[in-house]
A = this chain, B = another copy of it.
Amino acid sequence: MILTDSEKIKFMKAAIKQADKARALGEVPIGCVIVKDGKIIARGYNRRTHDHQVLAHAEIIAIKKACKKEGDWRLEGCEMFVTLEPCQMCAGALVQCRIDKVTIGAMNKKAGSCGSVINLLNMPGFNHKVEIEEGIMGDECSKMLSDFFKDLRNSKKQD
Binding site for B on A (CB under 8 A): 48-49, 51-57, 60, 63-64, 67-68, 70-75, 87-93, 95-97, 110-111, 113, 117-118, 120, 123, 125-127
Contact = CB atoms under 8 A, between A and B. Distances in A.
Contacts of A89: 89, 92-93, 95-96
A64 B53 contact: yes
Contacts of A53: 64, 67-68, 73
10 contacts: A53-B67, A54-B74, A55-B60, A87-B92, A88-B88, A88-B91, A88-B92, A111-B127, A117-B123, A118-B123
A149 to B, nearest CB: 16
Nearest to A96: B89
Contacts of A73: 48-49, 51-54, 56
B55 A88 contact: no
Which 6 residue pairs are nearest across A and B when measured between Cβ atoms? A89-B92, A88-B92, A117-B125, A54-B97, A54-B73, A92-B92
